[in-house]
Amino acid sequence: MTTDHERAVKFAYWVPNVSGGLVVSKIEQRTSWDIDYNRRLAQTAERSGFEYALSQIRFTAGYGAEYQHESVAFSHALLAATEKLKVIAAILPGPWHPAVVAKQLATIDQLTGGRVAINVVSGWFKGEFTAIGEPWLEHDERYRRSEEFIRAVKGVWTEDDFTFKGDFYRFNNYTLKPKPLQQPHPEVFQGGNSAAARRMAAAVSDWYFMNGNSLENHRAQIDEIRTAAAAQGRTVRFGVNAFIIARDSEDEAQQVLHDIVRHADTEAVHAFGHAVKQAGSASPEAQGMWSNSKFEDLVQYNDGFKTGLIGTPEQIARKIVALKAIGVDLVLGGFLHFIEEVEYFGKRVLPLVRELEEAGATAETA
């Protein structure tokens, strides 16, 4: 039996386009935010079986991340250096206007043979907005704006004489030419886990990214969004964040985790913990991303340890298949030493995932 390519779980990696790596720790991280390293990483990733790369947008430093390359320009550079990889550019409504995003990304899509996508993030860092003079909207208003943003971008990408009268954006008989190469349009991902984020995913996003969490919590989010999307005649796909520590032995992998946390940049982690109170905890239900995160969890800023992809290739492959069984379509990986570990993952973990998929493994057997 061959693996149905469409059903095979997909892999993405976090593009380290901001300095400091993916963990807020003073442990050695053999990675870099510069373009040469990132080009090599992107080439290694596509050779190793990764289909997507996700860039980050940050306008100012925060908990490390002293230097930050801009996401769209950086994504384009990675696309130019690769052949198959899809690069997801992070976009922040507020600083970006949907007309600019629709136009700029349509051009990049044309130039790269249809390999660009966007991740619409809604903002959690008030200091960043204040620094660039952008009004800081209240939590659920940020999502109301992001939803309009996505409707507007998709409208411009797919319709002629596009007209839109929203509270945040307006378009009048606008026709974009050329439209993007990808039909019906480049994929729209979103980051954000609060109730408002989930409502938005069900209503307009193609993909919903989850922070790291337990299998049960991921299942609950997927079920909730699937049901809400189906009621609107839509389907949504799901990506999950994980900080992946794959080593030949479980002890070795656990030791790496232990060392990352032991060398955590305590001051930066606490500052981050304070800043993210503007995210999920600030939502009406106080249930979004990071609202239940402990110190250890915040050392990886998207709760990536909680997903538990830490151990031997065999253990990790089984966990991934268990995630697939609850409806996860894509695993988004962060790594300590990016190039080396992406290569190791491609050689040692990914083939096991494919074997288990072919054997029809389920959550019960995993």
Ligand X SMILES: Cc1cc2nc3c(=O)[nH]c(=O)nc-3n(C[C@H](O)[C@H](O)[C@H](O)COP(=O)(O)O)c2cc1C
State the residues that interact with ligand X by CB under 6 A.
Answer: 56-58, 90, 92, 119, 121-124, 191-194, 197, 209, 211, 241, 279-280, 283, 288-289, 302, 332
Cβ proximity to ligand X, 188 vs 352, nearer residue: 188
Neighbours of 347 (CB within 10 A): 12
Shortest distance, position 34 Cβ to ligand X, whole Å:
18
Q: How far is the CB of 276 from ligand X (least distance, A)?
A: 7
Q: Which is nearer to ligand X, 202 or 361 (CB)?
A: 202
Closest approach, Cβ 124 to ligand X, in A, equals 4
Q: Which of 88/176 has CB closer to ligand X?
A: 88
For residue 355, the minimal CB distance to ligand X (Å) is 27
Nearer to ligand X, 157 or 243 (CB): 243
Tokens of 164: 């839109």
Are 9 and 331 contacting, i.e. CB atoms less than 8 angstroms apart? yes
Q: What's 346's DSSP letter?
A: I
Does residue 10 come out as left (phi exceeding 0), alpha (psi in the -120 to 50 range) or beta?
beta
Residue 125 CB burial class (10 angstroms; 0-12, 13-18, ≥19): buried
* Smallest separation, CB 91 to ligand X (Å): 9
Between strands 170-174 and 162-165, the pairing is antiparallel
Q: Which residue lies nearer to ligand X by CB, 47 or 127? A: 127
Q: What SS3 class is residue 339?
A: helix
Nearest Cα to 258, choosing from 310, 215, 315? 310
Residue with smaller CB distance to ligand X, 81 or 289: 289
- DSSP helix/strand/coil, 152: helix
- Only one residue has tokens 């307009």, namely 204
Smaller CB distance to ligand X: residue 57 or 188? 57
Q: Supply the minimum distance, in Å, between the C-beta of residue 328 and ligand X.
A: 13
For residues 135 and 132, what is the distance between their CA atoms, to the nearest angstrom?
A: 9
* Residue 5 CA to its chain's centroid (Å): 21
SS3 345: helix
Least distance between ligand X and beta carbon 258 (Å):
25
